[in-house]
């Protein structure tokens, strides 16, 4: 292990991975809180705003408990009738007022405040930099929401166009086309091959549409259920990274999430091994999460983090080269955050490029299908006119 990594483990007042003490809250109480929170519709953006507002109150000089009470009052003013986040923050304020640490109080609501959030708050409380840590958390969450929205917009619009196109074609083939084709069949004349192909497809869809729709729904619902198993999810996540257009986008998105989170965890004083374990929680791709486990294992055996990342063979060379440079200069954290900024920009550029490419491609494909249907219908009409 390099000197820089040794310093990360020893000189920066490392804070161990936080766990709520059992004396403060029983296991049964934690489970009830989790079950209650899981039905709350609290968006990441709301948690982000809460972290930033609490940091602002603390920076203004307010003690923690009055700051939490002021935050609860503010949240209740936004949605007076029903604000689940206000109720949760009120419970947090009561726990802190009873002598609990803020990290312990937040840890009782794991479905709202992730392990990263709780551990970074614990680090901030230990080091006396809670305001800075909350601002960093707000930055992480804002970046995560922003990037997720970019990727969703790049995927959602083409997907919506595909769904509409398929619905239009199915309607034409199962309702409109059969009534028109029946006229040509009754004339008992030889038909051109596009028309015969159209008749075959239309007949198949009209005959088996009752079976096709339920099977499609079962498959659509069955895929998420199958992905809950470790083997299927690992296969799907590996396949997603190999997709022609979206594979690189998914990889860049995960790298941006990982490096930003890891960099801010290290800046907050969390040791490298704990930071790797906590940062794994932001990884939504199980294949990449497995690679991060390999990185953690190699680092725990004394390997440099840049070399451990290189050995996975998953991350682009520029990632471990920047980290290696950071190790030499003694500033790995800045290198990780620079990588995240770089990939944030690439994700935005890639999403714009994909959207601009997929829209005309889908329109052309839809136009080709509709054009084929129109051609298959018009060809027999042209033959009839020539005979007449």
CATH of the domain at 253: 1.20.81.30
Angle at 284 between CA 279 and CA 285, to 5 degrees: 110
User: Is residue 187 located within the same domain as residue 264?
Assistant: yes
**Domain range for 40:** 3-128
User: Is residue 311 located within the same domain as residue 189?
Assistant: yes
Residues in the chain: 388
163 inside domain: yes
What pLDDT is stored for residue 91 in this prediction? 93
Nearest to 267 by CA among 2, 12, 32, 21: 12
Nearest to 48 by CA among 120, 146, 139, 116: 139
User: Is residue 25 located within the same domain as residue 149?
Assistant: no
Q: Which of 48-62, 118-132, 212-226 has the highest mean pLDDT?
A: 48-62
pLDDT tens-digit readout, 79-92: 555 778 888 999 99
Q: Mean pLDDT, to the nearest integer, of 276-301? A: 88
The packing angle between helices 230-241 and 286-300, to 10°, is 100
| Residue 20 pLDDT class (50, 70, 90 cuts) | very low
Of 71, 96, 128, which one is at a domain's C-terminal end?
128
What pLDDT is stored for residue 18 in this prediction? 56
pLDDT tens-digit readout, 314-361: 899 999 899 999 888 888 888 998 998 899 888 888 888 887 888 788
What pLDDT is stored for residue 81 in this prediction? 59
Of 98, 128, 158, which one is at a domain's C-terminal end?
128
User: Is residue 386 located within the same domain as residue 269?
Assistant: yes
User: Is residue 93 located within the same domain as residue 199?
Assistant: no
Q: Which two tokens stand for residue 229?
A: 């198993």
Domain count, the chain: 2
DSSP SS3 for 319: helix
96 inside domain: yes
User: Is residue 13 located within the same domain as residue 104?
Assistant: yes
Q: Please give the residue that has the higher pLDDT: either 14 or 272.
A: 272
pLDDT tens-digit readout, 124-159: 888 788 888 888 888 888 877 877 777 777 777 778
User: Is residue 199 located within the same domain as residue 319?
Assistant: yes
274 inside domain: yes
15 inside domain: yes
How far CA 270 is from CA of 124, 125, 338, in Å, comes to 10, 12, 19
pTM above 0.85, yes or no: no
- DSSP letters, 188-254, are T----HHHHHHHHHHHHHHHHHHHHHHHHHHHHHHHHHHTTSHHHHHHHHHHHHT-TTTHHHHHHHH
| Residue 17 pLDDT class (50, 70, 90 cuts) | low
283 inside domain: yes
What pLDDT is stored for residue 158 in this prediction? 78
296 burial level (CB within 10 Å; 0-12, 13-18, 19+): buried
Within 10 Å of residue 208's Cβ, how many Cβ atoms? 12
Angle at 188 between CA 185 and CA 190, to 5 degrees: 90
């Amino acid at each position: 292990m390099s000197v820089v990594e040794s310093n990360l483990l020893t000189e920066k007042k490392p804070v161990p991975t936080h766990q709520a003490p059992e004396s403060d809250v029983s296991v049964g109480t934690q489970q009830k809180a989790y079950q209650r929170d899981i039905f709350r519709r609290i968006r990441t953006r709301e948690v982000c705003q809460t972290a930033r507002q609490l940091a602002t109150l603390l920076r203004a000089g307010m003690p923690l408990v009055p700051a939490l009470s002021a935050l609860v009052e503010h949240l209740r003013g936004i949605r007076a009738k029903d604000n689940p986040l206000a109720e949760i923050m009120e419970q947090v304020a009561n726990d802190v007022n009873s002598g609990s640490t803020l990290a312990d109080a937040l840890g009782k609501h794991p479905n709202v405040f992730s392990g990263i959030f709780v551990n970074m708050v614990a680090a901030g409380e230990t080091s006396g930099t809670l305001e800075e840590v909350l601002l960093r958390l707000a930055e992480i969450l804002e970046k995560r929401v922003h990037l997720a929205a970019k990727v969703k917009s790049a995927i959602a619009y083409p997907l919506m166009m595909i769904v509409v196109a398929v619905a239009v074609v199915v309607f034409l083939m199962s309702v409109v086309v059969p009534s028109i084709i029946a006229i040509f069949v009754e004339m008992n004349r030889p038909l051109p091959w596009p028309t015969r192909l159209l008749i075959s497809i239309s007949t198949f869809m009209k005959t088996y549409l009752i079976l096709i729709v339920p099977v499609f729904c079962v498959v659509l619902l069955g895929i998420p259920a199958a992905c809950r198993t470790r083997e299927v999810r690992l296969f799907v996540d590996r396949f997603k990274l190999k997709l022609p257009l979206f594979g690189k986008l998914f990889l860049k998105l995960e790298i941006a999430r990982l490096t930003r989170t890891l960099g801010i965890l290290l800046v907050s004083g969390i040791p490298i091994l704990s930071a790797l374990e906590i940062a794994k929680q932001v990884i939504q791709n199980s294949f990449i999460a497995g690679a991060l486990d390999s990185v953690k294992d190699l680092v725990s055996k004394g390997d440099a983090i840049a070399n451990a990342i290189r050995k996975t063979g998953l991350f682009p060379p520029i990632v471990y080269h920047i980290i290696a440079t950071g190790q030499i200069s003694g500033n790995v954290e800045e290198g990780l955050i620079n990588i995240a900024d770089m990939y944030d920009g690439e994700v935005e550029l890639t999403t714009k490029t994909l959207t601009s490419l997929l829209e005309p491609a889908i329109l052309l494909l839809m136009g080709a299908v509709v054009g084929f249907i129109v051609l298959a219908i018009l060809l027999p009409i042209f033959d009839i006119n020539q005979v007449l």
